[in-house]
Chains A and B, each alone.
Chain A
Amino acid sequence: MKITVAGDVKEYADGITVADLIVSEDVETPAYVTVALNDEFVLTENHATTKLADGDNVEFLYFMGGGGCGVYK
């Protein structure tokens, strides 16, 4: 089946889950990544049980934040 991952269409085996995809795509620091599946966020606790389907669109969104407080490097 074909899944669009971060803008690229790729071929994956049927039955792959969001958790599998995170591993396959070698997503770094996945604990800080929000997965959007067809524009809906997938809760972390549902990654292992959420199966992907042909034509799905997945985005990996890193948490982004920070601030000018504290000690500067």
Chain B
Amino acid sequence: MAVVIRKADYERMLEHARTGVPFEACGLIAGRVEGVDRLVERVFPLENPDQSAEHFTIDPRQQLAAVKEMRALGLAPLGNFHSHPATPARPSEEDIRLAHDPKAAYLILSLAGEAPVLRAFEIRGGEAAALEVRIV
């Protein structure tokens, strides 16, 4: 199972994360499911109303607007992404506690090291399982 994301979309996500520093940045991903893989075809950078270095929330109104745009483009919602400005690309207890969509891919982009690290997870029943990430 993999999340496949084009380099341009990855860079858009990265730019959004870097622009948001010191706060966490967040957004949605959309595309299509092919077999067991999720192919990301569009990244939707959204605001983090929490304006926090340790927390993010996706505003439901922005979420709805993005989902409407996805539908208009013929894309399916695939999950979300958020940044960890100073911590690893692993789900925190808070990430797991607040992950309620069992079908979503949860992407975490860490800016903690010299090079950014993007990882993806499925989170179900309080357990996170890593997904392969392919930037193409």
* A and B associate in one complex: yes
Residues of A within 8 A of B (CB): 7, 28-29, 32-34, 36, 39, 41, 59, 61-73
> Is B93 an interface residue, CB under 8 A from the partner?
yes
CB-nearest residue of chain B relative to A29? B100
> Is B96 an interface residue, CB under 8 A from the partner?
yes
B81-97, CB < 8 A from A:
82, 84-88, 90-97
User: Number of B residues whose C-beta is below 8 Å from A?
Assistant: 41
- B residues in contact with A36, CB < 8 Å: 64
Across the interface, B56 reaches (CB within 8 A) one of A28, A32, A66, namely A66
- B residues in contact with A34, CB < 8 Å: 60
Contact (Cβ within 8 A) B54 A67 = yes
Compute how far the CA of A7 lies from the CA of B30 in the bound complex, rounded to whole angstroms: 13
Compute how far the CA of A29 lies from the CA of B128 in the bound complex, rounded to whole angstroms: 17
Given contacts A68-B55, A72-B93, 17 further A-B contacts (CB under 8 A): A61-B60, A62-B104, A64-B58, A64-B63, A65-B50, A66-B94, A67-B52, A67-B95, A68-B86, A69-B54, A70-B92, A70-B93, A71-B93, A72-B87, A72-B88, A72-B91, A73-B96
